[in-house]
Amino acid sequence: MHLSIRNQLPGTVTTVTPGDVMATVRVHLSGGQDVTAAITAEAVQELGIEEGAAVRVLAKATEVSLATGPVDGLSIRNRLAGTLMEIVLGPSLANVKVAVDDAELTAVITREAVEELGLTPGTGVTALIKSTEISLATG
C-alpha cells in the first residue's frame, strides 16, 4: 500500500494502555525517541498491536508543529528533537524537513511562522505532534 503521508517512522511498541473506546500506544522509534499514539481500541485489536510489535508511526505533515525554544506547559505528548534540514517556501506555506535521529519529518507551516521563528537550515527545533494525530501501521 502506498500512502500520501510523508511522515512514516519505524519503531517498536513498548506499551499499550487499553481503554473502553481508545487506547494509548507508546512506540520506541528506531532512532531512540518515543512517540505516543491515541488510537481506537478496535484498531489495536484489528492490527494486532501489542508490546514488541513492529509498527510505522504515521503523521500528516500538516499536523506537525515546530518550536525553537522550550516547550514546557503543553499537553502535546510528542516532542521530537531534531535539526532543520531544508525549507521550501511558497507564497503562504512552507514545506520544512527536519532530521530526527535516523529519520526525517516534514512539517507544513506558514511562511509567516518560518520568518517569525527565524528558521534556517541547521536550526535546532522540536517537532510537536498531538497523540490523537498519530496513526499506526503494521505489516
pLDDT band, very low/low/confident/very high, at 2 (cuts 50, 70, 90): confident
Instruction: Please tell me which residue, 108 or 101, carries the higher pLDDT value.
Output: 108
- pLDDT at residue 1 tops 80: no
pTM of the model: 0.94
pLDDT band, very low/low/confident/very high, at 67 (cuts 50, 70, 90): very high
- Per-residue burial over 58-69, b if 16 or more Cβ lie within 10 Å, else e, is bbbbebbbbeee
pLDDT exceeding 70 applies to what percent of the chain?
Answer: 99
pLDDT band, very low/low/confident/very high, at 139 (cuts 50, 70, 90): confident
